[in-house]
Amino acid sequence: MHTYFGDFDFYNWVTLPLIIFFSRIGDVSLGTLRNVFISKGFKKIVPFLGFFEVLIWIIVVAQVMKNLNNVACYLAWASGFATGTFVGLQIEERLALGLQVIRIITNQNCDELLVALKQNNHGVTLVDAQGSKGPVKMIFTIIKRQNVHSVVKLIQQHNPSAFYSIEDIRNTNQGVFTESASGSLATIRRIFPIRKGK
């Protein structure tokens, strides 16, 4: 008995678009990470990411050019690009690479906050300043990006009304930082956190 699915080109309309979709996720994710690594000064890994990014891109473009009349390939290309951008940013967020400076401005007593920051091995610099409504204290601390959330919690706990801003910085000469795991294993754990079983 003749069926519709017997004439359906499964490869061109399903398999090939899926290949293009996931390939685009791969190369766009690598491109997003490459740009992030460039901005943060990680120069050694950038050429490798660029190599595989362009290699995947060329292979995918070749497949699209062979199937210019296939609308599914265009949709897979566009949706893969959008998804790849999102995936790349998610990976970069999990890596939490680089350093950030937190500027805290408060007109309240900040002794407890200073003690808490020092107890957590965060270097601090305290400066007297003048705000629009009177004298204020400015606290500067440079921390590893992976520790930002813990520092924000300390601010909210000890000086909830304080104003603070967070900015990326390229590098530092010296400083006081919390102890943390380093190396490839730590990087993998930040991307794929492993929870211990109960």
Q: Among the three residues 66, 95, 124, which one is the final residue of a domain in this structure?
A: 95
The overall pTM is greater than 0.85: no
CA gap 77, 61 in Å, rounded: 9
The reported pLDDT for the residue numbered 192 is 45
pLDDT value of residue 156: 95
SS3 166: strand
Residues 88, 116: one domain?
Answer: no
User: What pLDDT sits at residue 181?
Assistant: 46
- The ranges of the chain with pLDDT < 70 are 1-6, 170-198
Q: What is the DSSP string of 90-152?
A: HHHHHH--SEEEEEEEESS--HHHHHHHHHTT---EEEEEEETTEEEEEEEEEEEGGGHHHHH
Same domain, 87 and 139: no
Regarding whether 168 and 107 lie in a shared domain, the answer is yes
Same domain, 155 and 85: no
pLDDT at 99: 86
| pLDDT for the residue 1 | 45
Q: Which domain holds residue 29?
A: 10-95
Residues 107 and 89 in one domain: no
Residues 86 and 115 in one domain: no
Q: Give the pLDDT score at 198.
A: 43
Residue 174, domain member (yes or no): yes
Does residue 2 lie within any of the structural domains?
no
Tens-place pLDDT, residues 98-114: 889 999 999 999 999 99
Residues 85 and 120 in one domain: no
- pLDDT of res. 50: 94
- Domain match, 71 and 113 both: no
Tell whether 82 and 112 lie within a shared domain: no
